[in-house]
Amino acid sequence: MQNLKILFEDNHIIVVEKKPNIPSQADKTTDEDMLTIVKQYIKEKYNKLGNVYLGLVHRLDRPVGGIMVFAKTSKAASRLSDQVRKKVFKKKYLAVVDGKIESKQGTLEDYLYKDERHNTSKVVNKNKKNAKLAKLDYKVLKYNKVKNLSLLEINLHTGRHHQIRVQLSHFGHSIFGDQKYGTRGQGKQIALWAYELTIKHPITKEEITFQDLPEQIGTWCILRDE
């Protein structure tokens, strides 16, 4: 079992760090996934017999690391899923992108079309059938002139397939290490991290925010660069 980093746990939810390149849930590969890893942790910690209930409320793309919350009861799962639908559930990301962005902050609005066959998305005209509005805010936190890379904070308004990756690429500032949509860092780990999560606790209704930063190695050294 993977070494699991737990940010918070009670009887209703568990908040953990997903390492990059681990699937959120089982896929066509036989690789260990977060849902299975967390279930196994609960089974071992509480000596549970039989199947362990664990609700998958949201996902992160396989190459992306960061915060995930799982529900330990069906009631918590239902209430958290409702928060996702009503946009009470809020996620912020860090991304290291190619080039210097002149405006220190801004909003990107595009229409995305998902190509199911190739598991990709692209920006299209809003009149295209099945095109969906994608919106995010970005803020430039830092620029490294030597490496010509910018560190961004991303606030998602919608949760489309590969949204951040596609929109930033279309914007002309693709994420460093993005194998599908990027221009730089091929062969490197994608520099996209879900670092902040805000939810209302499904039982107490208290608004709680969790933060988790990536390890400052590789591209993420930009976090400590002066």
User: In Å, what is the CA distance from 34 to each residue of 77, 103, 209?
Assistant: 16, 37, 21
**Running DSSP on this structure, what letter comes out for residue 4?**
-
Q: Looking at the annotation, which residues are catalytic? A: 61
pTM, 2 dp: 0.94
**Long-range contacts, 203-208 (Cβ 8 Å, 24+):** 203/12, 203/75, 203/76, 203/79, 208/8
Domain ranges, ordered by start, for the chain: 6-223
Which of 91, 92, 188, 118 minimizes the C-alpha distance to 147? 188
**Running DSSP on this structure, what letter comes out for residue 187?**
T
Which amino acid is it at 133? L
pLDDT for position 225: 75
pLDDT for position 1: 54
pLDDT for position 226: 64
CATH for the 6-223 domain, from 3.30.2350.10, 3.40.50.700, 1.10.10.10, 3.40.50.1100: 3.30.2350.10
Reading phi first (left if > 0) and then psi (alpha if -120 to 50, else beta), residue 107 is in beta
pLDDT for position 50: 87
Show the tokens assigned to 153: 């904070």
pLDDT in tens, 80-119: 999 999 989 999 999 999 999 999 999 999 999 999 999 9
Show the tokens assigned to 10: 């009670």
The low-confidence residues of the chain, meaning pLDDT below 50, are none
CB 110 within 8 A of CB 169: no
